[in-house]
Amino acid sequence: MNHGLLDRLAAELAVRRERGAVRTDLVVAGPQGTTLTVDGRELVNLAANDYLGLAADPEVLDAARQALDEVGLGVSAGRVLSGTREVHHRLEAAIAALAGTEDAVLFGSCFDANLGVFAALLGPEDVVLSDALNHASLIDGIRLSGARRQVYGHADLGELADLLAASAGARHRVIVTDGVFSMDGDLAPLPALVALARRHDAVLLVDDSHGTGVLGATGAGTAEHLGSQDGIDVLTGTLGKALGGAAGGFVAGSRVLAETLRQSARPYVFTNAMAPALAVAAMTSLRLVRERPDLRDRLVVHTGWLRGALRDLGYEVPPGEHPIVPVMLRGGTLARDVSAELRRHGVLALALAHPVVPAGEERIRVQVSAAHTPEQLERVVAAFGRARSALSAA
């Protein structure tokens, strides 16, 4: 490899290492579940997005196994060539049914969906108004479109209204937000965003990767939960979190939107189709989202209980209702130290530090599942309690 490039990369890695900012893979043995085996030890898993426990659901796994036998592993072709199977269309219809939209289009991941959607719809004549805490895939997708990106402060409706008023000459204005923000677990103010979009004749795009299947009476997501489903023009989401946790993403919306994406979204056209067995697993997960509202009910109970128990121990847990529970441990290596202490006590909960969250906003992100047992949640609280005593003694 070219020496100039290698030397520069090595120097940059050394700086990262000095800052303690080098990420290493946590290697897990065995399947996703409410416990994970790491270095031969079983840990209660608070570090996955498997909010309903469907990644380990026997019906989901059986359906995928059966599909593997019937339709094989991969299709070795893109959707627009010979890669489309009937299940892809059935899955798109099932996603549209959940989202309450006319149609939906599958992508290999939500990252791909977000990379593709803006460039297919927008160009330099357009303005995108983007929440400061939006996911990286939205930021990159907006960049690829060539549209002018204006960032408004997180959930700052006043600043957004000013930017909308100032960009009235653009061909289209698109307000872009996560439905649930993945580092804080807070919800976008969708009813107010819908009202602003209507007032300014703007488009509203919501990435509800952490809301789909999790929030709302039918699991349709954050907009259903907040009563603003009608006002969302474009919805993106993932099959890699609550909906079975394997892989896949989607864009849901009107028929014309879907047709446009099928013609010109580059991560739809120029890539391999989703493995049919994964599509079958996602279909099964969507059926369970529909038929098992008790999973969401249990998730609400678990989340409320754990948020309360952690606060009772004296931890700072910002208000919220989502199973992403941030436990604020600001400054230095405190979050990392508490995470290590939790692991010693049989609990896996990861620390987040700069650049994933702003410096001074370090935290442990706890992710609750409907599948956690009460005993596991009690173990978690006991571990947080011990971690607190160990650190105050240190």
Ligand X SMILES: Cc1ncc(COP(=O)(O)O)c(C=O)c1O
> Interface with ligand X by CB under 6 A: which residues?
109-111, 135, 137, 178, 182, 207, 209-210, 238, 240, 249
Minimum CB distance to ligand X smaller for 101 or for 182: 182
- Taking the complex as a whole, how short is the minimal distance between the CB of residue 345 and ligand X, in angstroms? 27
Minimum CB distance to ligand X smaller for 170 or for 251: 251
In the residue annotation, 154 being an active-site residue is answered as no
Strands 324-328 and 173-178: unpaired
Q: Which of 182, 209, 285, 339 is catalytic?
A: 182
- Taking the complex as a whole, how short is the minimal distance between the CB of residue 112 and ligand X, in angstroms? 7
- How far apart, in whole angstroms, are the C-alpha atoms of residue 192 and residue 140? 25
In the residue annotation, 241 being an active-site residue is answered as yes
Minimum CB distance to ligand X smaller for 117 or for 309: 117
- Taking the complex as a whole, how short is the minimal distance between the CB of residue 389 and ligand X, in angstroms? 33
- How far apart, in whole angstroms, are the C-alpha atoms of residue 93 and residue 116? 20
Among 389, 49, 56, which residue's Cα sits nearest to residue 241? Answer: 49
The answer to whether 52 and 214 are in contact (CB under 8 A) is: yes
3-state SS of 198-265 is HHCCCEEEEECCCCCCCCCCCCCCHHHHHCCHHHCCEEEEECCCCCCCCCCEEEEECHHHHHHHHHHC
Here the tokens at position 353 are: 């530090």
- Taking the complex as a whole, how short is the minimal distance between the CB of residue 205 and ligand X, in angstroms? 12
Amino acid at the residue 238: T
Q: Which of 88, 135, 241, 372 is catalytic?
A: 241
Minimum CB distance to ligand X smaller for 99 or for 309: 99
- Taking the complex as a whole, how short is the minimal distance between the CB of residue 248 and ligand X, in angstroms? 7
- How far apart, in whole angstroms, are the C-alpha atoms of residue 99 and residue 26? 34
CB atoms within 10 A of CB 161: 16
Q: Which of 210, 302, 322, 372 is catalytic?
A: 210
Minimum CB distance to ligand X smaller for 170 or for 206: 206
In the residue annotation, 182 being an active-site residue is answered as yes
**Which amino acids are annotated catalytic?**
182, 210, 241
